[in-house]
Structure 1
Amino acid sequence: MGAPSGRQEVMGMTTNDLTKPTPAAEGTTEPVVQLKGVGKLYGNVRALEGIDLDVRPGQVTCVLGDNGAGKSTLIKIISGLHQHDEGEYVVDGKPVRLHNPREALNLGIATVYQDLATVPLMPVWRNFFLGSELTRGPWPIRRLDIERMKETTQTELSAMGIHLDNLEQPIGTLSGGQRQSVAIARAVYFGARVLILDEPTAALGVKQSGVVLKYIAAARERGLGVIFITHNPHHAYMVGDHFSVLRLGALELNAARDDVSLEELTNHMAGGTELAALKHELAQVRGVDVEELPEVVNSPST
């Protein structure tokens, strides 16, 4: 698939740029992807129940949750790896049932996993076109069009504000943030309309996390709908337009940015309801001064 037209260079972004609202974030466009009451069962184990999610162009939808909350199952359903058992999965207003990731890619839904699906010893440009190499010449003696792949890689990375000194260097020598940004640019080039990012900042330091957040904001500016999977509310709040917090397979919170503060979001991630109950129980225990414990913030429900 060819690259989408109308690219806009995004360079020199600051922290303030990350939180800048976009027209799409104001709810002026229809969702590309919708989940309506989606549930998933693995035998007698209910992994997801009643999940509602809207992903709009030019908007970052943050899905947060602790380990075991259901984030991985949600990714697998949206990316076509697993099928949902309940509810509706809607793309462009039409219910779909995806059978594999290729069907999701054909609909413009791309997933960037934590392992990035790269070959560390291969050059950056080879990884950019990995599995979709450009060729030239007549069949059956077609050969790789190396120059065109290098030029395209350089152009696409620059359009996302990514500047590498040497495309011949093994991608394994790049920092974690740089590898994530290359994977994002690759997905954009190959026609992604919805980009799912699986914990892209989980194993990164502060500086490299900032690099990734910058390119998430750049993808939003390019008009993509981004699903940012994370367990870090601070990272989510820097770039997010809408927040969905999962707990034990159900929605704990489903709120727009204007309706929730960072403190409230953090409280939901920390299990505010459970902490409030625990604080009440501790009040019955002799020797525990609950007045010295931090207050639990009352925040909006789903």
Structure 2
Amino acid sequence: MSVNDTAIDAPLELRGITKSFGAVTAIHNFDLRVEPGEIVALVGDNGAGKSTLMKIIAGVYQPSGGEILLRGQKVSLADASAAQAQGIEVVYQDLALVDQQPVYMNLFLGRELTRGVWPFTVLDRAEMARQTQKLVDDLDVRIPSAKATLSDLSGGQRQAIAISRATHWASNLVLMDEPTAALGVAETAKVESLILRLRERGTAVVIVSHNMEQVFRIADRVTVLRRGTQVGTMRVADTSHNELVSMITGLAG
């Protein structure tokens, strides 16, 4: 495989990304490349720039400088819809789910399937439920049914539905912002298992996490931000908890 082939295959590449808000530089000259089926953890203290960077990738913010490449092609993500159109999906801490709707309606939220001819179209609930059930079965998400009401599910199950939805619609990349922050130990383990299953499916994942143990359990590589500057990026197998903490805090280990 040539170098050019490899570049085309990369779901995400950031080159020299910079973001300023007036006189304040939130991100300075950030580089990152994410390969298919790779989980990259983004770590740093509060205010390090993690959320800003994720919003740039998600199209919420536009960079002040640098380039974003998807599958080797330079893109301009004018808004979140543009990022979604490029196959980027985000799992936020608040999940953005509707508790009183069934699981299948949450999976197709804003993208509902219909049947019939306008103006006599109706929601194709049976097909949405069928596709949802197949997806959760494929991902081994343990829920009573695709027709279950979301509010009847546990926090871990709801998080799994949010991740399943992102997986269903993401043709390129899934971004996750602290996906297990509000979960207990057992449910965290279930969600982490689902994230690892995404890697097996070849899905590229960028995850923000404050949980160092989690980073070492699920990530292939980790990149550290401190005060908007990229301190380093390395394979998780080649670093240690103490080294990461030292990089995050700027203190000698």
Q: TM-score, normalised by structure 2?
A: 0.92
Instruction: Identify the residue that residue 5 of structure 1 maps to in structure 2.
Output: none
Name the structure 1 match of 2:158: 179
Counterpart residue identity of residue 139, structure 1? W
Equivalent in the alignment of 1:139: 118
* Offset, 1:28: 10
RMSD: 1.7
Most deviating of 164-173 and 75-84:
164-173
Contact 2:143 2:153 in 1 (8 A): no
- Counterpart of 1:245 in 2: which secondary structure? strand
Further displaced range: 70-79 or 104-113: 104-113
The match for 1:256 is 235
- Helix, strand or coil for the counterpart of 2:129? helix
Distance 1:151 1:203 in 2: 30
Asked if structure 2 preserves the Cα contact closer than 8 Å seen for 1:58 and 1:221, the reply is: yes
Aligned to 1:42: 21
Amino acid at match of 2:91: V
Distance 1:136 1:229, change over 3 A: same
Q: Distance in 1 between matches of 2:207 and 2:8?
A: 19
Q: State the 1:55 CA deviation.
A: 1.2
> What percentage of residue pairs aligned between the two structures are identical?
40
- The answer to whether structure 1 residue 158 and structure 2 residue 158 are counterparts is no
Please point out which of 69, 73, 98 is paired with 2:48: 69
Alpha-carbon separation, structure 1, partners of 2:218 and 2:8: 19
CA distance in 2, matches of 1:192, 1:78: 15
- 1:259-297 deviation line (CA, Å, top 9, x unaligned): 21233224434x1x33x4xxxxxxxxxxxxxxxxxxx2x
Residues 102 and 147, structure 2, Cα contact 8 Å, conserved in 1: yes
TM-aligned CA deviation for residue 175 of structure 1: 1.9
Give, in angstroms, the shift of residue 146 of structure 1.
1.2
Which string of whole-angstrom CA distances, capped at 9 and with x for unpartnered residues, describes residues 63-110 of structure 1? 011211101100110011111012211112122221011111111111
- Give 1:107's match in structure 2, choosing from 80, 86, 91: 86
Task: Give the secondary structure class of the aligned counterpart of 2:205.
Answer: strand
Task: Choose which of 51, 58, 79 in structure 1 pairs with 2:30.
Answer: 51
- State the SS of the aligned residue for 1:117: coil
Select 1:219's aligned residue among 166, 180, 198.
198
Count of residue correspondences: 248
Q: Which runs of 5+ in 1 are unaligned?
A: 1-26, 277-295, 297-302
Deviation per CA, 1:198-230: give whole Å up to 9, x if none.
Answer: 110111111111111111101111111000111
Partners in 1 of 2:193 and 2:179 — Cα distance? Answer: 12
Give the greater-gyration-radius structure (CA): 1
Q: How far does residue 257 in structure 1 lie from its aligned partner after superposition?
A: 2.4
SS in 1 for 2:31: strand
Q: SS of 1:157's equivalent?
A: helix
Q: How do residues 115-130 of structure 1 correspond to structure 2 at under 5 angstroms?
A: 115-130=94-109
Query: What's the secondary structure of 1:122's corresponding residue?
Result: coil
| 8 A Cα contact 2:133 2:145, kept in partner | no
Counterpart position of 2:3? none
The answer to whether the Cα contact below 8 Å between 1:29 and 1:57 also exists between their aligned partners in 2 is no
1-side partners of 2:8 and 2:214: how far apart? 25
Structure 2 residues without counterparts, runs of 5 or longer: 1-5
For 2:185 and 2:45, the matched residues in 1 are separated by 20
- The alpha carbon displacement at 1:258 in A equals 3.2
**2:85 maps to amino acid:** N
